[in-house]
Structure 1
Amino acid sequence: MGLFDFVGNIGKKIFGKEEEASSAVTQHISEDNPGVENVAVKVENGVAKIEGTAKDASALEKAILMAGNIAGITKVEAEGVTIASGEALASDDEFYVIEKGDTLWKIAEKAYGNGAKYTKIVEVNKEVIKDADKIFPGQKIRIPKGL
């Protein structure tokens, strides 16, 4: 399932010392669990290694984004996760890194030709976008296809 890169110095700050990181990231994913049973995360040197059983590829992608958009996490490894549905991780959705000056409206205009469809982006990223007015450069989100 590979290694996913993130910008380590941005995102939500949920731990102060690396010794706290594993339990803090595990708890963070568990609170808004996107569908990963027995989720456990081990963090070493900024790399979050997720373990558990995802109900489907979408659930795993959401867990990866939740972990990766935390300050102090530079990479997420998901080789310890089994996808219960048997589907592959690669979906039709694409990952997008928010740039300075981006708004969800502008991103939706680029992706779909219609800025009003930004609500669909918020909906599929509800675990990482808590407030549509509060996105930040370097944040990675999913852009669903087929709208």
Structure 2
Amino acid sequence: MGLFDFAADIGRKLFSKEEEASKAVTEHVAEDNPGVENVQVTVENGEAKITGVATTASALEKAVLMVGNVMGVTHVNADAVVVANGEKVAGDEEFYIIQKGDTLWKIAEKAYGNGAKYKAIVEANKEVIKDENKIFPGQKIRIPKGL
């Protein structure tokens, strides 16, 4: 899948010391597991590596976003994750970095020409967006295609 870049100084704070990071981030993904069996995350010098078997490409993308939107993570490497059904994983064109002043309505207007479709963005990112009224600049989300 490749290496994905994230902003290190934003996101959920899950650990204070790097030696706590791997366990904390693995537990974070396991809590709202989007469909990655035997998921393990190791974090070293800001780079997180995910291993496991994803049920779908979408599940893998969600796991990458869950890991990358953790404070202290600058890169996510998911090359070691296998997608069980052989489905191809989309490229960066399906991801969006939230900008200052963005709302989910504005993002949906830009992506679909209809702000009312923001609920599809919330649903596609429910592991990352816990409250649709609380998004922040630098957060990376998926934009579902074909709506």
TM-score with structure 1 setting the length: 0.98
CA–CA distance in structure 2, aligned partners of residues 118 and 93 of structure 1: 18
Where 1:77 maps in the other structure, the secondary structure is: strand
Name the counterpart of 1:37: 37
**SS of the residue 1:134 aligns to:** coil
The separation in 2 between residues aligned to 1:117 and 1:13, in whole angstroms, is: 30
The answer for the alignment partner of 1:101 in structure 2 is 101
- Where does 1:46-85 land on structure 2 (aligned, <5 Å)? 46-85=46-85
Question: Which structure 1 segments of 5+ residues have no match?
Answer: none
SS in 2 for 1:120: helix
1:143 Cα deviation from its structure 2 partner: 0.4
Three-state SS of the structure 1 residue aligned to 2:134 is: coil
- Structure 2 regions of 5+ residues with no counterpart? none
Runs of 4+ in 1 over 4 A off after TM superposition: none
Q: Distance in 1 between matches of 2:128 and 2:91?
A: 18
C-alpha RMSD of matched pairs (Å) = 1.2
TM-superposed deviation, 1:75: 0.2
Q: 1:18 to 1:127 in 2, by over 3 A?
A: same
Sequence identity of aligned pairs in percent? Answer: 73
TM-score for both structures, normalised by structure 2: 0.98
1:80 Cα deviation (Å)? 1.2
Task: Tell me the equivalent position of 1:140.
Answer: 140
Structure 1 residue aligned with 2:119: 119
- The one-letter code sitting in structure 2 at the alignment partner of 1:54 is A
Q: CA deviation at 1:17?
A: 0.4
Map Cα deviations across residues 76-105 of structure 1 (whole Å, 9 max, x no partner). 000110100101112697100000000000
